[in-house]
Amino acid sequence: MVGLINEEDLATVRERSRIDEVVGAHVTLRNAGGGSLSGLCPFHDEKTPSFRVTPARGFYHCFGCGEGGDVISFVQKISNVSFVEAVEYLADRIGLQLRYTEGDAHRPEPGLRLRILEANREAADYFADRLTTPEALPGRQFLAGRGFDRDVSERFGLGFAPSGGRELSAHLRARGFTDAELVKAGLVRENGWDFFQGRLLWPIRDAGRSVLGFGARKLFEDDRMPAKYLNTPETVVYRKSQVLYGLDLARTNIARKNQAVIVEGYTDVMAAHLAGVDTAVASCGTAFADDHARLLQRLIGTSDVQAGEVIFTFDGDAAGQAAALKVFKGDQHFVAQTYVAIEPTGLDPCDLRLQHGDAALRELVARRVPLYRFVMRNVIGGFDLDRVEGRVSALRAAAPLVSSIRDAGLVPGYIRELAQLLGLDPEEVRREVKRASAKGGGRPSGSAPARRPDEPALPGLDLPDSRDRRWEAERGTLRLLLRAPEAFTGTLNDLVADDFAHPTYRALFERLAASADAGPGDWAQRVLSANQDPVIEELVVTLAVEPILREPTPAYAAEYAAGVRVLAVARQIAALKSKLQRTNPVEDQLAYNRMFASLVDLEARRKQLVAVATGPSL
């Protein structure tokens, strides 16, 4: 294939194409000494730069993956094009007209990639010119309504596709482009109609400002395409999973500031740059993907996990949370720290700037929070943290997330933060995180947390272990109720079902309380007659034959009942303390003071009950 291009022209391309400039459009290069430059390899994921470029010799080499070669092979590899297309691309950059050898009938069509780029450039100029026509008034009104005037439109190269459906193809054919080239460029459909009709257009450029494709917004109700936004179809130059809108404007600033801000739409990118957030980019017609992450990481070009940052702006709704979780799963592609910026009012960056000004948009980015923290809060937000079971389940769901944090130095801080969010002891959280890490950790899938082997498959009743001292007060109280219900005269009404923490003991108490409402009699027999649960039946029979250690007097019964209530109040105190930990005393002072007063009352009540619960059964 090399023989297709004149050998002198090949030598000229190699000589005049500076490899540092070509590579620098894709990778941030820094001085590595000895006349070489270094950066993160664009061909494999790495955290420490092992990619070297030697401008004097015109070569590059990666000591990590072994990729290397000259400027031509770099273009081939990075753009996934043939040797001829790579040479044509470089020749176009330096303004060289290539000469081809004769006599090879099987030579493939040369320069298709460059012809597509040329067609896109001509189309962008044509669309921009049409934006000033009367037909494009709805497009200009749309932009004006979002705070963008004519100067802004020209700065971002915005345009308008006429509604007739044949104007662009006629314009480009008049400039020498063939129908086949226009179809392959995604500008014209196979049936001859223009791909974009009656739409506002944004040119999508690469880091070198070549137009790769377009994004288009619906303006007219009679638009035959139902989608509000439409993008160029996949071509040899446009792959939506590998392009970012605004990269041509943000690339230098991303490398200089070691920061990239990811927004969701074209107008958001425009608003961000106008507001001074000049590192903003957006994915085009698709969700942010792994290839996008790798592209940004190469541009940020730092091996220091603390030095760079990637900031995502998501809506605070369920869709935004899902998007954040998806990004979190691919977070391993970043060496930089990842953050989320959420506007509490729900406004997107464009509307935020329009309603509150440039400073509000800059403040949105400044208020960023770590992606881990945002995802963690959303993971535990699905649990009832006012209940012990809910806090434990939330911990089990969040622990794998903390264990997967890339920077080990941040883990202790996140453990403390998670403990505060859940109202749990940091040591308990640390142990759970350690268990999650030993199991392989991993990032949450968004599904419910896995059940532990020792947990029942269903929330049904199970037979309590009589040797478990945690439930001795509850078991002893129920044993007395079954054997000597008369001892609870005046005391039974002080107990409620929620005083019993074990679900089986709680269920039995509810049945016994119902038997008491029926008047004097054999409560055990009543429960057995009315009950259809084999676990309750077995428990009743067991308790009915267990020995009672003391004379079942009202005082003895009161001691047991007080013991049950002491534990119940202790659980209320723990839950209230947990809620206090999760409440900001400055932002929600009234609620905080109210809960603190309740805590004081509960502590006093607990002391009174402890004074009663002094019997030998406890």
Average pLDDT score over residue span 339-362: 91
Task: List the strands of the sheet with 229-231, edge to edge.
Answer: 159-161, 199-205, 211-218, 229-231
Task: Tell me: pLDDT of 37 over 50.
Answer: yes
Q: Is residue 448 part of a domain?
A: no
Q: Is residue 211 part of a domain?
A: yes
- Please check whether residues 295 and 394 belong to one and the same domain: no
**Under 8 Å CB-to-CB from 397, ≥6 apart: which residues?**
379, 380, 382, 383, 444, 448, 449
Q: Is residue 84 part of a domain?
A: yes
- Please check whether residues 218 and 253 belong to one and the same domain: no
Task: Tell me: pLDDT of 444 over 80.
Answer: no
CATH code of the domain in which 234 resides: 3.90.980.10
Confidence class for position 296, pLDDT limits 50, 70, 90:
confident
pLDDT of residue 355: 95
Q: Where does a domain end: 45, 66, 94?
A: 94
- Please check whether residues 353 and 337 belong to one and the same domain: yes
Domains held by the chain: number: 5
Residue range 371-388, pLDDT digits in tens? 888 888 888 888 888 887
Confidence class for position 407, pLDDT limits 50, 70, 90:
low
The better pLDDT of the pair 460, 25 is held by 25
pLDDT of residue 458: 33
Q: Is residue 191 part of a domain?
A: yes
- Please check whether residues 314 and 300 belong to one and the same domain: yes
- Please check whether residues 298 and 363 belong to one and the same domain: yes
The better pLDDT of the pair 576, 122 is held by 122
Give whichever of 34-48, 209-223, 403-417, 479-493 has the largest mean pLDDT.
209-223
Q: Is residue 104 part of a domain?
A: no
Question: Is the Cβ–Cβ distance between 56 and 15 less than 8 Å?
Answer: no
Helices (H), 494-553: 503-517, 523-530, 534-545
Q: In 3-state terms, the chain is what percent helix, strand and coil (to 5)? A: 50, 10, 35
What is the percentage of the chain residues whose pLDDT exceeds 90? 28
Half-sphere exposure of 77 (CA within 13 A, CB side): 18
Question: Is the Cβ–Cβ distance between 311 and 361 less than 8 Å?
Answer: no
pLDDT of residue 575: 78
Write out the residue range of the structural domain in which residue 393 sits.
375-438
pLDDT of residue 105: 45
Average pLDDT score over residue span 330-350: 76
Calpha distance 115→182 (Å, rounded): 9
CATH code of the domain in which 383 resides: 1.20.50
- Please check whether residues 607 and 508 belong to one and the same domain: yes
Question: Is the Cβ–Cβ distance between 369 and 340 less than 8 Å?
Answer: yes
The better pLDDT of the pair 309, 102 is held by 309
Q: Is residue 453 part of a domain?
A: no
Give whichever of 330-339, 510-519, 594-603 has the largest mean pLDDT.
594-603
Q: Is residue 492 part of a domain?
A: yes
- Please check whether residues 55 and 121 belong to one and the same domain: no
Task: Tell me: pLDDT of 284 over 60.
Answer: yes
Task: Tell me: pLDDT of 448 over 50.
Answer: no
What's the count of helices (H) and strands (E) in the chain, helices before strands?
25, 15
- Please check whether residues 120 and 199 belong to one and the same domain: yes
Q: Where does a domain end: 348, 367, 386?
A: 367
Residue range 76-128, pLDDT digits in tens? 878 656 787 788 888 878 888 788 776 444 444 556 778 898 999 999 999 99
CATH code of the domain in which 66 resides: 3.90.580.10
pLDDT of residue 329: 63
CATH code of the domain in which 291 resides: 3.40.1360.10
- Please check whether residues 264 and 232 belong to one and the same domain: no
Task: Tell me: pLDDT of 351 over 80.
Answer: yes
Calpha distance 212→185 (Å, rounded): 9
- Please check whether residues 227 and 264 belong to one and the same domain: no
- Please check whether residues 340 and 288 belong to one and the same domain: yes
Q: Is residue 102 part of a domain?
A: no
Average pLDDT, the chain: 82
**Under 8 Å CB-to-CB from 409, ≥6 apart: which residues?**
none
Calpha distance 589→137 (Å, rounded): 53
Task: Tell me: pLDDT of 302 over 90.
Answer: no
Q: Record the tokens describing residue 362, joined without a space.
A: 């800059």
The better pLDDT of the pair 258, 350 is held by 350
Residue range 546-561, pLDDT digits in tens? 777 777 888 888 888 8
Question: Is the Cβ–Cβ distance between 64 and 44 less than 8 Å?
Answer: yes
Confidence class for position 3, pLDDT limits 50, 70, 90:
very low
- Please check whether residues 511 and 598 belong to one and the same domain: yes
Helices (H), 162-308: 167-173, 179-184, 247-257, 266-274, 290-300
Q: Where does a domain end: 438, 454, 484?
A: 438
Average pLDDT score over residue span 193-202: 96
